[in-house]
């Protein structure tokens, strides 16, 4: 017997309310192939038995659940952690950050309940559950192969080239207090964000946004380096920012070093807004993001003094038997045991004809 779904959860979450560990069904999924070395993404059609919702994405760190078959279509999951962002007016994108598979779709076999497509702003159904989550009756009708509607209008726009407007986010984790207790208040006088309480997720940032604000932890900070080319010379440094949805690399040049270098400290959390977003140069960045940030004269960085729960590190582990499917030159996370470690030696690179250091390690 399949677990009961949390009726009314979709309406509550998309409406901006906090909801603790809702149980939802994955009606269908669609793989969105990423460009370059970025991770693929999965778009989901979710159901709480009362409503279905197609503007949902699976966080890339959970891709292994789909790829391994542990989570399949019609699976029932408990969502332990999620993020809900507003893009393009009133469209809300629900990103699943952490979940437990309660029942595989192959075992459930049917769509539960009689979900109707949810449209933000519609009148609340009298039978919808309050945020404590009442169960929905199970239906035994044959499963339908619904696919998410036109992806160009869906959540993939948060990662591609659609210009979002007036965005916000709602984050919920485990048994933490309701989201209202985590309201983020801008410091008085912050340029461009007077009285703003809206925070964007890093995963939702694109170069086509004019106004955005992230709250993220500094996980890495480089030293100050110098550069020189045909256009001149200068100094630069970089930092990696991380939030619940992903990470992004930010670089500061010359005057930005004097303004931000001493301010930014590893493991501290900051509000950042009005940086320049552009397509990432993978030659200089190992961060899993299609875009990167540059500090400019209008960029605002302020220390976050709120008690927030943000990750300090992010891993996307790859199994050893899956390494052959990864593109050469990509950075991966691997966990295992080193069986043997050779001596350090040197070889001549065929590509550059330069001498490079080499060590052979056996990993199991």
| 170 in any annotated domain | no
Contact 180, 131 (CB under 8 A): no
For residues 292 and 231, state if they share a domain.
yes
pTM of this structure:
0.52
| 308 in any annotated domain | no
Domain-terminating residue out of 275, 303, 331: 303
Structural domain span for residue 213: 183-303
| Domain containing residue 36: CATH number | 2.40.50.140
Nearest C-alpha neighbor of 87 from the set 196, 243, 198, 194 = 198
For the CA atoms of 63, 66, 68, 69, the dihedral, rounded to the nearest 10 degrees, stands at 170
What is the structure's pLDDT at 111?
A: 92
Domain-terminating residue out of 111, 141, 158: 158
Exposed, middle or buried by CB within 10 Å (0-12, 13-18, 19+), for 57? buried
Residues 220 and 241: their CA atoms lie apart, in Å, by: 8
Block means of pLDDT (10 residues each) for the chain, length 364 residues?
A: 89 85 94 69 93 90 89 94 74 87 92 88 46 44 39 36 40 40 32 54 83 93 91 93 93 94 96 92 82 93 91 85 79 89 89 88 90
For residues 19 and 135, state if they share a domain.
yes
> Beta strand 51-58 with 116-117: parallel, antiparallel or unpaired?
parallel
What is the structure's pLDDT at 145?
A: 39
Number of domains in the chain: 3
| 267 in any annotated domain | yes
Nearest C-alpha neighbor of 120 from the set 88, 156, 152 = 88
What is the structure's pLDDT at 88?
A: 60
What is the structure's pLDDT at 89?
A: 60
For residues 21 and 145, state if they share a domain.
yes
| Nearest-5° Cα angle at 314, 341 to 259 | 110
Tokens of 106: 């192959």
What is the structure's pLDDT at 130?
A: 45
| 310 in any annotated domain | no
Nearest C-alpha neighbor of 335 from the set 81, 64, 41, 104 = 64
> Beta strand 232-242 with 269-273: parallel, antiparallel or unpaired?
unpaired
Instruction: Give me the numbers of helices (H) and strands (E) for the chain, helices first please.
Output: 4, 19
- Residue 240 CA from chain centroid, whole number: 15
């Amino acid at each position: 017997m399949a677990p009961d779904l949390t009726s009314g959860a979709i309406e509550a979450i998309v409406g901006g309310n906090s909801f603790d560990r809702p149980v939802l069904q994955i009606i269908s999924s669609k793989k969105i192939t990423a460009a370059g070395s970025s991770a693929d993404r999965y778009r989901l059609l979710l159901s709480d038995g009362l409503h279905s919702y197609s503007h949902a994405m699976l966080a890339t760190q959970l891709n292994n659940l789909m790829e391994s078959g542990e989570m399949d279509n019609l699976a029932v999951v408990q969502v332990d952690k999620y993020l809900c962002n507003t893009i393009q007016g009133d469209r809300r994108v629900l990103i699943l950050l952490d979940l437990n598979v309660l029942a595989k779709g192959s075992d459930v076999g049917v769509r539960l309940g009689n979900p109707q497509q949810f449209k933000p702003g519609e009148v609340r159904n009298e039978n919808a559950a309050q945020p404590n989550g009442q169960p929905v009756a199970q239906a035994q009708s044959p499963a339908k192969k619904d696919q998410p509607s036109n992806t160009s209008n869906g959540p993939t726009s948060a990662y591609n080239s659609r210009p979002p407007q007036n965005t916000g986010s709602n984050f919920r984790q485990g048994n933490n207090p309701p989201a209202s207790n985590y309201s983020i208040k801008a410091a008085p006088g912050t340029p461009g964000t007077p009285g703003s309480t809206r925070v964007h997720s890093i995963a939702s940032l694109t170069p086509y946004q004019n106004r955005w604000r992230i709250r993220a932890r500094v996980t890495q900070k480089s030293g100050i380096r110098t550069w020189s080319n045909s256009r001149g010379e200068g100094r630069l440094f970089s930092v990696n920012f991380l939030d619940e949805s992903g990470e992004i690399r930010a670089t500061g040049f010359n005057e930005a070093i004097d303004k931000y270098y001493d301010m930014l400290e590893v493991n501290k959390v900051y509000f950042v807004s009005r940086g320049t977003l552009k397509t990432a140069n993978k030659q200089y960045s190992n961060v899993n993001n299609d875009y990167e940030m540059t500090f400019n004269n209008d960029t605002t960085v302020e220390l976050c003094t709120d008690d927030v729960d943000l990750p300090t590190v992010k891993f996307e582990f790859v199994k050893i038997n899956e390494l052959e499917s990864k593109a050469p030159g990509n950075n991966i996370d691997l966990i295992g045991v080193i069986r043997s470690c050779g001596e350090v030696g040197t070889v001549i690179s065929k590509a550059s004809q330069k001498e490079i250091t080499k060590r052979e390690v056996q990993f199991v």
